[in-house]
Structure 1
Amino acid sequence: MSSQQLEARIPADKLGQRLDAVLAELFSDYSRSRIQDWIKAGKVALDGQLQSKPNMKVLGGEKVVLQAEIEEEIEYQAQDIPLDIVYEDADILVINKPAGLVVHPGAGNPDGTLLNALLYHDERLREVPRAGIVHRLDKETTGLMVVAKTVPAQTHLVEQLQRHAVERVYDAIVVGRMISGGTINKPIGRHPTDRKRMAVIATGGGKPAVSHYRVLERFREHTHVRVQLETGRTHQIRVHMSYLGFPLVGDPVYGGRLRIPQQMLPEFADFLRGFKRQALHAGQLSLTHPVSGKVMKWKAPMPDDMLALIDVLRDDMDDFHAMQDDLGYDDYDYDDGVEVEWVTDADIPQE
């Protein structure tokens, strides 16, 4: 546990305002919820008197002493796990996460996670809750993540995420030939019968979730789309795309049955069958630096497996067009048959 004593004088114009609200303004490096916890724990004194009620009204002019205590992540061990660091300064760290790396220890993954790697990279991250992690990517999703290196930086980044001021843009390869882009605004919550999954919840219980998507390239039975998140719900892109009928290639949870285009060459079909993770990459990240106030933006190219997937789908389309030309066909109906019929996930509630 690390501790720091903070002192200030409550301005006279704060008469009648809540204690927690005033302290959140005076000590803006810390969140209001954290300050509330400190008040309840008896870590705040006004004119020498300990306080315990966050909603008490201040008079103005009181001297406040706050004993800020931050729990260290002593239960997690530092592990020498390579990190692809895109950017680092005294306040933040931006990494390009590979597929297969779990972000935070949990059931089935007690170690070997990004958190363990961060503690090895910088032991001072033990002083920051969750080693500075402010958002997550699924285990098999690749791409950019920002990590806070100090408590004040973490507070500011969380606040940006809460007001949707952090721009996160993803590349995804979906099953099906999407005609155009759009926006899906459907709440997401726990699946009503499978608590390990998420789902679009049509009638209450879900949290607001908004995804904007546009088509980058169409193939015979697949589409390369770019998705910008307005919110950040668990599995949001995977759930929203599946709800639309365009699940991600390789998604083991929301993907349904494999779809192989008609007359695809065996080597191309084998590649599709062997793509065992959701084809999703967080390729762009933009935010306001928590200390300098400068708007910063990073990009990370798609990983080799997704680039190879796109190459296979392009080659398949070229090969099929060449075959149609040889047979004398002028055009091809892209919605024609497939070897395995696509089945929409019937468990996801529909409106």
Structure 2
Amino acid sequence: MHKRKRKSNTNQTQVPIKQYTVKEQTELLIFLLNTLSNLGRNSVKSLLSHGRVLVNDQAVTKYNYPLQPGQTVSIRKVKTTNTSLMAGVIILHEDEDIIVIEKEAGLLSVSSSKENELTAYRQLMDHVRRGNPKNRIFVVHRLDRDTSGVMMFAKSKDVQQTMQNSWKDIVQERLYIALVEGSVKKKEGTISSWLKETTTFKTYSSPRSNDGKLAVTHYNVIKSNQNFSLLKVSLDTGRKNQIRVHMQDIGHSIVGDKKYGSHMKLIGRLGLHAQVLSFVHPTTGLLLRFETKIPKSFLSPFRSTPTKN
């Protein structure tokens, strides 16, 4: 993935550029690697996964898609114009139905009716209304204020309802990176509990079965030392503060998460990042996958000495 400035974004539209004619029978990825010799394998795969490769004007994401002589392969490129500056938001993908962004830690996804501060939602609403004042965006899912990473908005009520009503079927992969306190001895595991919320809006695991909403979290250890562990975390369910509560439940609170038991202050933020979101596009049916880099600060505890709050 190319480096991008974190504090700004540009208004993006996709325009077709170079077209290539298939000369012999082959598979799409092989054709692209041979044709786009100036790009590396990962860059070519990124073009495919982001729906920027068209065969006979139809977007294709499958690496092994069979090509026949005479077909036309086109590459859509993002054209940028400096018309939209947004704080803490990077647009990863935008089409007529959805917007996928990378949100910085510290930025609210959506504000409540009592709050009046900058949010990802408000900035994206301004963004889509520059083209047409009647345009709107709709919330599909949320990230906590202090969680960074990939999230998505719909551009119509119908698409929002389709995504939310079929979330488990549409979303193919939802992966988080969590920096937690202590050395997680079990290299992989599953945490399952019934989550409830106190009157002060703090989520906790109920000691009784069927008391609350079922939450299931899977994790794998990427690396660890005596003081910290870096985990890949995937969800079967998407409950409020689920990962934060489950990490506390196993005695390894997320770094910087004082609300859920953290005692370490090192990276200046919550150690939770939504790294991957993969889903079936609600209109085109294409499988799209968006992956962001692990924040550099998440790796620093493996080189630094922790400090107490």
Same fold (TM over 0.5): yes
Q: Cα offset for 1:104? A: 1.1
Q: Does 1:182 align with 2:170?
A: no
2:189 maps to a residue whose letter is: G
Q: Deviations over 1:132-164 (max 9, x none)?
A: 111000001000001111222212211232557
Cα distance between partner residues in 2 of 1:112 and 1:126: 21
1:185 maps to a residue whose letter is: S
Cα distance between partner residues in 2 of 1:89 and 1:157: 15
Q: Cα offset for 1:125? A: 8.8
Q: Specify the alignment match of 1:288 in structure 2.
A: 280
Q: Specify the alignment match of 1:240 in structure 2.
A: 246
Q: Specify the alignment match of 2:303 in structure 1.
A: 315
Cα distance between partner residues in 2 of 1:110 and 1:248: 28
Closer/same/farther in 2, CA of residues 132 and 145 from structure 1, 3 Å limit? same
Closer/same/farther in 2, CA of residues 231 and 125 from structure 1, 3 Å limit? farther
Report if the CA contact (8 A) 1:125-1:150 is conserved.
Answer: no
Q: May I ask how many residue pairs the two structures share in their alignment?
A: 221
Q: Specify the alignment match of 2:270 in structure 1.
A: 278
Partner of residue 211 from structure 2, selected from 194, 205, 208:
205
Q: Specify the alignment match of 1:112 in structure 2.
A: 118
Q: Specify the alignment match of 2:49 in structure 1.
A: none
Q: Specify the alignment match of 1:253 in structure 2.
A: 259
After TM superposition, the score normalised by the length of structure 1 is 0.58
Closer/same/farther in 2, CA of residues 126 and 234 from structure 1, 3 Å limit? farther
Q: Cα offset for 1:126? A: 6.2
Map 1:209-220; keep pairs closer than 5 Å: 209-220=215-226
Q: Specify the alignment match of 2:98 in structure 1.
A: 92
Residue 253 of structure 1 aligns to a residue whose secondary structure is: helix
Q: Deviations over 1:97-140 (max 9, x none)?
A: 00111111126632311121111111269665xx3111000001
| Deviates further, 163-172 or 245-254 | 163-172
Closer/same/farther in 2, CA of residues 90 and 176 from structure 1, 3 Å limit? same
Closer/same/farther in 2, CA of residues 339 and 159 from structure 1, 3 Å limit? closer
Q: Does 1:301 align with 2:293?
A: yes
Map 1:23-38; keep pairs closer than 5 Å: none
Cα distance between partner residues in 2 of 1:299 and 1:339: 31
Cα distance between partner residues in 2 of 1:126 and 1:205: 43
Cα distance between partner residues in 1 of 2:112 and 2:166: 26
Structure with bigger strand share is 2
Cα distance between partner residues in 2 of 1:164 and 1:287: 5
Q: Cα offset for 1:80? A: 6.3
Cα distance between partner residues in 1 of 2:133 and 2:189: 40
Cα distance between partner residues in 2 of 1:125 and 1:229: 37
Cα distance between partner residues in 2 of 1:206 and 1:195: 16
Q: Deviations over 1:256-279 (max 9, x none)?
A: 433xxxxxxxxxxxxxx3434220
1:275 maps to a residue whose letter is: I
Closer/same/farther in 2, CA of residues 153 and 222 from structure 1, 3 Å limit? same
Q: Cα offset for 1:252? A: 2.4
Higher relative contact order (CA 8 A, sep 6+): 2
Q: Specify the alignment match of 1:196 in structure 2.
A: 201
Q: Deviations over 1:293-315 (max 9, x none)?
A: 01111101123xxx23413x332
Cα distance between partner residues in 1 of 2:224 and 2:147: 22
Unmatched tracts of structure 2, length 5 or more = 1-83
Closer/same/farther in 2, CA of residues 93 and 164 from structure 1, 3 Å limit? closer
| Structure possessing the higher radius of gyration over alpha carbons | 1
Q: CA RMSD in A?
A: 2.5
Structure with bigger helix share is 1
Identity %: 31
Unmatched tracts of structure 1, length 5 or more = 1-78, 259-272, 318-337, 343-351
Cα distance between partner residues in 1 of 2:123 and 2:302: 37
Closer/same/farther in 2, CA of residues 288 and 125 from structure 1, 3 Å limit? farther
Cα distance between partner residues in 2 of 1:177 and 1:126: 52
Cα distance between partner residues in 1 of 2:226 and 2:258: 22
Q: Cα offset for 1:339? A: 9.0
2:303 maps to a residue whose letter is: D
Q: Cα offset for 1:208? A: 0.9
Cα distance between partner residues in 1 of 2:145 and 2:231: 21
